[in-house]
Structure 1
Amino acid sequence: MADIAKLASRVRAASHLTGQFLLRSGRTSSEYFDKYLFEADPVLLADIADAMRPLLPVDADLLAGLELGGIPLVTLLSQRTGLPARFVRKKAKEYGTCRTAEGGDVGGLRVVLVEDVVTSGGAVLDAARVLREQGASVEHVLCVIDRQEGGRDNLAGVGLALHPVLTRAQLDAVG
């Protein structure tokens, strides 16, 4: 989808909520973008995945989606690009394989992280650390929404470039 303003309008209409919300970062917000509302719409999800495709670095070996919101995104993006997917848990399972990253090895591969909404980047930082410990090269992060609350700088501090489909400013512009 080439018209980013139209996509921003659709994402905002589908997912923008007002009230009092506690964010993962510990901050509170009077506005919230409920990613499950845009991820549950198959047409909108497909259009978001299509908008993510051109943001992918050409040398990516595989995609890794963060639990839980990044999983539908990475699955569809994998299907659309042909790149294999991995699924990164918030913490390792305590049974079975006891892995944090599911779906296969990541060692020696160039991994692009896929996330739904980035605020401070805390979940992305955790996932990148785990994948790097497993030998992956992680330098790029794709997300649907960058809330523009410090996440980009926090990620850059550990060598991660953030590539959002939409920013908070773009969503506010269509609100």
Structure 2
Amino acid sequence: MKKELITLLCKKSFKYTEEPTFKLVSGRMSRFYVNCKPTTLSARGMFLTGHLMFEAIRDCDAAAVGGLTFGADPIAMATAFASELNGQPVNAFSIRKTQKDHGIVKWVEGDIRPGEKVVVIDDVATTGGSTVKAIERARSEGLEVVRAVILVDRQEGGLDNIRAHVADTVAIITRDELVDRWKKMGK
């Protein structure tokens, strides 16, 4: 499944150039561009991502999986669906970028309660900033973050930054794996 997902990411979500031409959120220029949404929102990509993410979290006794909207949302939903198919249900949740200012004011939406163990996920990590923000917001809602899982690690220090907040942090796919496949595909 992982090899197929890497190929799908290369077809739908990854771009690579010899010269830095892609502007990142930080303002830096990069030779790599990763937008996982075309993959994670496709039927096959959702299937592969959900199963691989579930495999990455199935041993940590988490009640739910989620992260900062919008990158983590399709992955969380696919993971919850795969978990049910595998007889080990894990709910999905979403963390807002801006706090709700009406009704019950909260950062996190989903079928979870304070004190429950959760896994925070993200589609891509460069510096890890959005994942760290999600971890902080989950904790502010009383959730116990037991693991962080990144779909694609750009290998630019993000995982180390996330590990400063959650020791158990892993990535499913690395930038090097994408570049290797990209080159083999003759892109």
What's the TM-score once normalised by structure 2's chain length?
Answer: 0.84
**Partner SS state of residue 177, structure 2:** helix
**Partner SS state of residue 174, structure 1:** helix
User: Matches of 1:76 and 1:89 in 2, distance apart?
Assistant: 19
- Measure how far apart 1:154 and its partner are: 0.3
1:25-174 matches, cutoff 5 A: 25-56=26-57, 57-81=59-83, 82-174=89-181
User: Matches of 1:25 and 1:60 in 2, distance apart?
Assistant: 32
- Measure how far apart 1:107 and its partner are: 1.3
Q: Gaps (5+ residues) in structure 1?
A: none
User: Which range moved further: 22-31 or 5-14?
Assistant: 22-31
User: Matches of 1:105 and 1:40 in 2, distance apart?
Assistant: 24
The answer as to whether partners of 2:64 and 2:112 remain within 8 angstroms in 1 is no
User: Which range moved further: 50-59 or 72-81?
Assistant: 50-59
Report sequence identity in percent.
27
Aligned length: 173
User: Matches of 1:50 and 1:139 in 2, distance apart?
Assistant: 19
The answer as to whether partners of 2:146 and 2:168 remain within 8 angstroms in 1 is yes
User: Matches of 2:7 and 2:44 in 1, distance apart?
Assistant: 14
Q: Gaps (5+ residues) in structure 2?
A: 84-88, 183-187
Q: Which one has the largest radius of gyration?
A: 2
User: Matches of 1:112 and 1:40 in 2, distance apart?
Assistant: 20
User: Matches of 1:61 and 1:151 in 2, distance apart?
Assistant: 25
- Measure how far apart 1:13 and its partner are: 1.4
For the structure 1 residues 5 and 84, does the alpha-carbon distance in structure 2 shift closer, same or farther, using more than 3 Å as the test? closer
For the structure 1 residues 73 and 110, does the alpha-carbon distance in structure 2 shift closer, same or farther, using more than 3 Å as the test? same
After superposition, what is the alpha-carbon deviation per residue over 1:42-70, rounded to whole angstroms, capped at 9, x for unaligned? 11221121111211033112112320011
- Measure how far apart 1:117 and its partner are: 0.7
What's the TM-score once normalised by structure 1's chain length?
Answer: 0.89
